[in-house]
Structure 1
Amino acid sequence: MPRFTPPLLLLLLSGLAGPAAANLAATVPAATAGPALAGVPLEFLLFAGVLGMVAFSHVSTMLTALWGALAITVYKLLWAPFGEGAGLAGLLGHAGHEWVGLANLLALLLGFALLARHFERSHIPAVLPHYMPDDWKGPLVLLVLVFFISSFLDNIAAAIIGGTIARSVFRNKVHIGYLAGIVAASNAGGAGSVVGDTTTTMMWLAGVAPGQVLHAYVAAGVALLVCAVPAARQQHAYSPIVKDAPDGVRVDWLRVGIVAFILALTIGANVLLNTRYAAASGLFPFLGAAVWLAILLSGLVRRPDWHELPGALRGAVFLLALVWSASLMPVEALPPASWPIALGIGFVSAVFDNIPLTALALKQGGFDWGFLAYAVGFGGSMIWFGSSAGVALSGMYPESRSVAQWLRHGWHVPLAYVLGFAVMLALLGWHPEPMAH
């Protein structure tokens, strides 16, 4: 008989999420659970400690995440079983289960960093002020553009493109509240599209029809409006958009073509894998390989700026360490599906990898998939390391790596999350649906 345990991580979130997050406890089979303190598995305490140091200490976030991942791995190896078994065999089995997702994430983060540099050097961002309003509505238009791009492109790329444009049109002075707005817009844009976010793609592969997540755009649209307007006003007050492009700037259409080629190959590989070769998608990081194939081929005509990789690698290693640590948590099931649980999942996804949360929800069933897609997608925007889009953007703007500053200046993001959820619930109601197949 499974027992419910209240992980410290979720209890820490209860102050933000209220009863929903406090009730979102993990189910751990007693026969396979390791040591616990007051009913809380010790790996949760270790993970909560790592997240606390990342959020509030001045130690290197990358080193903190790496040492934390190592400590949790060694603990599991010696004293607690992995989901795939105990000891070295369990560790190898778990690594074999996770490596494709981690490799894809690494390849996308590094590849999109090079894509962003191609886009910047195409001079498209420099000429955009000719076509954008020069008051606070200019930053607002950019956030809407990021939202639109993310509906058909991975949210990492959408956030990086948005950050690249912002760096140009705001003279390298981008407000942290606006950076939070870019991440929120990229995550909102992918919430209702099965090709716009990893989590919605997972739902599609598991049998959720594209139309079953489409209504997430009701909440996402409200959330975009709620956070985009104050974020745009913050940015305008901090550093207004440039009124005119520099003289003599010419668009490098070859680099524009390279960006389009990389994006087209990425989208094509994603759609092809999900529609024709879904069974093989877990065998190899095909999506990441497609991005790098496009980069290497296009490098024959325009050399990528390889010096961008060290900085991108630091952010990627940080995120991979957190994702690996999250995958080691003994979370076997979620409480029975309901809208308060879905609301709480969004808050939890701000600090806990949303991929395993989505996998658990799919395994359990009983959710309104549009609500779940919105929660796991947009919820990660509330903290800078809560989503891969935020981590990728922090590589361009290191000043954003502060939970306190992110929450202080990006206050509109959690507000937008709750209001978006509330509006969708009021207009559409909670309607759990079985998967299409």
Structure 2
Amino acid sequence: MITTLSHPWHRGLLLLVGLLAPGFALAAESHMPALGGIRLEFILFAATLLGVALFHHYTMWISLGGLAAVLISKYLFVDDFSLLHHLLGSAGHEGEWRVLLNLIGLLFGFAILAKHFEESELPQILPKYLPNDWKGGFVLLVMIFVISAFLDNIAAAMIGGAIAFVVFNKRVHIGYLAAIVAASNAGGSGSVVGDTTTTLMWIDGVNPLHVLHAYVAAGVALVLFGLVASFQQDKYQRIVKDAPVGIAIEWHRLAVVGFILVMAIATNYFLDFPAIGVWVAILLGALVVKTPWQELKNATGGTIFLMGLVTCASLMPVDELPPASWLTTFFLGFVSAVFDNIPLTKLCLEQGGYDWGVLAYAVGFGGSMLWFGSSAGVALSNMYPESRSAVQWVRHGWHVPVAYVVSFFVMLALVGWEPHAPHKETFVEAPAPVVAAPSAS
């Protein structure tokens, strides 16, 4: 295990956070210490990310330790800070409880969904329909991409991971795992029901058609990272050629899987809370099939880890982004690999002036560059613990950041940068009329 900062990737992470943090306008005045213009919260957050990268066997404890350190610094140096207000909301601030509770429900719920899908025996017969060489791996990535267009990217990644576990005989290359996450994030980037960030845009008033051209970049990226990852996987472990004999699909279990997905989409559309639909469907499905409740225990560590990291990211004092431009959006893709893309998207919506399709692709796909950069990656790591190494993820999944850069500029060349006007009115209180004092007579 690497325990020094000599590795160029480690120095790069520190450099990235150090360069980006001062580029944000920081929160209201406080007595928070700063080093070189970088406030203590950013330094603690960078240290947490570095700890996750170095000691991937202890990610949950590092995440919780980093959160505790940030909270202590807030209470020591920010006079009006309240964790309760941060979570539940207060005047002029929307609390984080909805995002966190929804994410908890989805991570646990989709762990059960993936197990239902695995036990339905459908993955066992898929080798009959997938090509026998590298093309089989590529077709599977395309399937994940398509599924994610109308389903949350967490579920798409979990379903893809469950299929890969079977068709590759339990030997899945880390580069291919990175591609599974990238396919799920890319597939959701152009659909307002396929990713939390695009759903957030939709709820805030962005026209769904204004994010659709994200698929220009997403499609190019899929071809680039998909081909490389498929060759990696084929060399590491070729797809199983023949399905086992005598396999019978458990259609009632597949029906529960379908019911969970339908309820997730419905409650996401009507309530902006897909976790409610997922758990209603799971509990109703438990009346029909045996539910693998043991998966909740298996998903606990990864879920706590992500909750700690997302909460820590939401506490960063970011009030304003640099001026909206294609260059800012391009770098936001890299920021989303280490910084929660939900608060980034909220800031962009408040600021306005972005090309929403370009932004949706950048913040949606950018999290694929690191395993903890998106909830889909964290969820998949519960199934494949060996993926919890940032160094190995970057080393073997190098094709994901390369695909991001190339496809981003292909999108700019084909559709350009067309910033949209503010999609909601901003009301400014008019100044009170000045009344001249009566003259003395």
Is TM more than 0.5 here? Answer: yes
Tell me which residue corresponds to 1:316: 303
Tell me which residue corresponds to 2:139: 141
CA distance in 1, matches of 2:299, 2:220: 32
CA distance in 1, matches of 2:188, 2:16: 24
Greater displacement, 157-166 / 96-105: 96-105
Instruction: Tell me the secondary structure at the aligned position of residue 208 of structure 1.
Output: coil
CA distance in 1, matches of 2:74, 2:309: 15
**Structure 1 59/185 Cα, relative in aligned 2: closer, same or farther at 3 Å?**
closer
Of all paired residues, the percent bearing the same amino acid is 59
Per-residue CA deviation, residues 121-140 of structure 1 (Å, 9 max, x unaligned), is 10110000111100100000
Q: Does 1:71 align with 2:72?
A: no
CA distance in 1, matches of 2:20, 2:56: 28
Aligned AA (1:95): L
- In the TM superposition, residue 222 of structure 1 has moved relative to its aligned partner by 0.5
Q: Does 1:426 align with 2:413?
A: yes
Q: Is the contact made by 2:133 and 2:238 (CA closer than 8 Å) also made in structure 1?
A: yes
Tell me which residue corresponds to 1:37: 35
Tell me which residue corresponds to 1:113: 111
Instruction: Tell me the secondary structure at the aligned position of residue 319 of structure 2.
Output: coil
Q: Does 1:293 align with 2:286?
A: no
Tell me which residue corresponds to 1:51: 49
Tell me which residue corresponds to 2:316: 329
Q: Is the contact made by 2:22 and 2:37 (CA closer than 8 Å) also made in structure 1?
A: no
Q: Aligned match of 1:306 in 285, 288, 293? A: 293
CA RMSD in angstroms comes to 1.7
Matches of residues 33-432 of structure 1 in structure 2 within 5 Å? 34-57=32-55, 60-80=58-78, 86-87=80-81, 90-96=82-88, 97-273=95-271, 281=272, 286-432=273-419
Aligned AA (2:48): V
Q: Is the contact made by 1:312 and 1:395 (CA closer than 8 Å) also made in structure 2?
A: yes
Q: Is the contact made by 1:53 and 1:59 (CA closer than 8 Å) also made in structure 2?
A: no
Matches of residues 13-32 of structure 1 in structure 2 within 5 Å? 13=13, 22=20, 25-29=23-27, 31-32=29-30
Q: Is the contact made by 2:266 and 2:277 (CA closer than 8 Å) also made in structure 1?
A: no
Q: Is the contact made by 1:13 and 1:22 (CA closer than 8 Å) also made in structure 2?
A: no
Aligned AA (2:221): A
CA distance in 1, matches of 2:76, 2:406: 45
Segments of structure 1 that go 5 or more residues without pairing to the other structure are 1-10, 274-280
Aligned AA (1:47): F
**Structure 1 59/397 Cα, relative in aligned 2: closer, same or farther at 3 Å?**
closer
Aligned AA (1:323): V
Aligned AA (2:276): A
CA distance in 2, matches of 1:73, 1:23: 19
Aligned AA (1:141): V
Instruction: Tell me the secondary structure at the aligned position of residue 159 of structure 1.
Output: helix
Per-residue CA deviation, residues 338-358 of structure 1 (Å, 9 max, x unaligned), is 111100000010010000000
Q: Is the contact made by 1:13 and 1:348 (CA closer than 8 Å) also made in structure 2?
A: no
- In the TM superposition, residue 38 of structure 1 has moved relative to its aligned partner by 2.1
Q: Is the contact made by 1:220 and 1:374 (CA closer than 8 Å) also made in structure 2?
A: yes
- In the TM superposition, residue 57 of structure 1 has moved relative to its aligned partner by 2.6
- In the TM superposition, residue 23 of structure 1 has moved relative to its aligned partner by 8.6
- In the TM superposition, residue 307 of structure 1 has moved relative to its aligned partner by 1.0
Per-residue CA deviation, residues 235-267 of structure 1 (Å, 9 max, x unaligned), is 111111111110110100001100000000111
Per-residue CA deviation, residues 205-259 of structure 1 (Å, 9 max, x unaligned), is 1111001000000000001111000100111111111111101101000011000
Q: Is the contact made by 1:350 and 1:383 (CA closer than 8 Å) also made in structure 2?
A: yes
**Structure 1 14/425 Cα, relative in aligned 2: closer, same or farther at 3 Å?**
farther
Instruction: Tell me the secondary structure at the aligned position of residue 173 of structure 1.
Output: coil
CA distance in 2, matches of 1:159, 1:23: 30
Segments of structure 2 that go 5 or more residues without pairing to the other structure are 1-10, 89-94, 425-441
